[in-house]
């Protein structure tokens, strides 16, 4: 039955929840938790896994842009506008 649940989680692309289920089955402490606590851990694991995949994708895309010689012009202008210019050194004259 648990294998069927895991297969369905994977089929629904809930890989984080499937991994959390495996971890709970290997951890004796999980048996002491009630259903809501275990479900919460599985949902949190899924959310974390999705966020990590998104960050990995964004980092990979940024690396590709840098290898190609930087950001395209329209993005570079936006980036330049977002980064403040360095402060000019104070020369003692008000």
Domain count, the chain: 1
In the structure, what pLDDT confidence band is assigned to residue 73 with cuts at 50, 70 and 90?
A: low
pLDDT in the model for residue 61: 87
Q: Which DSSP string do the residues of the chain spell out, in sequence order?
A: -HHHHHHHHHHTT-HHHHHHHHHHHH-GGGGGS-HHHHHHHHHHHHHHHHHHHHHHHHHHHHHHHHHTTSS-HHHHHHHHHHSPPPPPPP-S--
Mean pLDDT of 66-91: 60
Which domain covers residue 30, as residue numbers?
A: 2-72
The answer to whether residue 78 sits within a structural domain is no
The answer to whether residue 86 sits within a structural domain is no
pLDDT in the model for residue 66: 77
The answer to whether residue 90 sits within a structural domain is no
Output the average pLDDT for the chain.
82
Instruction: Indicate if the pLDDT at residue 81 is higher than 80.
Output: no
């Amino acid at each position: 039955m648990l294998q069927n649940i895991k297969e369905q989680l994977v089929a629904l692309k809930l890989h984080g929840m499937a991994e959390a289920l495996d971890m709970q089955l290997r951890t004796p402490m999980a048996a002491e938790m009630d259903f809501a606590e275990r479900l919460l851990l599985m949902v949190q694991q899924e959310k974390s896994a999705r966020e990590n995949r998104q960050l990995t994708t964004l980092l990979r895309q940024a690396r590709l842009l840098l290898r190609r010689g930087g950001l395209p012009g329209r993005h570079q202008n936006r980036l330049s506008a977002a980064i403040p210019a360095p402060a000019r050194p104070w020369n003692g004259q008000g």
